[in-house]
Amino acid sequence: MTDTPITRIEQHLAAASAAIAAELATVADPVERQDIAREVAETLLPRLGAEVKRGRAAAVAELKEGRTLKEVGALLGGLSIARVDQILKGAKQ
């Protein structure tokens, strides 16, 4: 396996997933375990997703400096102007 940012992130996520599963396994009461799992799925994981989206938007904003949305879209593999704009606006939410 090549050591790249994406492989390191995959390793971090795998470790976090294993830790969450292990922590859930310590909760004997199935109702409480379900409540905790729901909280993770509905609150904590969306926070992670939002953080990743902010990172993506920051990278796109960096690309936008001195470029049109069309040029940025082309750099990102042919994304539409609307999609580039959407990514940029997503950082402000």
| 3 state SS for the chain | CCCCHHHHHHHHHHHHHHHHHHHHHCCCCHHHHHHHHHHHHHHHHHHHHHHHHHHHHHHHHHHHCCCCHHHHHHHCCCCCHHHHHHHHHHCCC
pLDDT surpasses 80 at 14: yes
Cα–Cα distance, 37 to 21 (Å, whole number): 9
Tens-place pLDDT, residues 59-89: 999 999 999 999 999 999 999 999 999 999 9
Say what the pLDDT of residue 90 is: 78
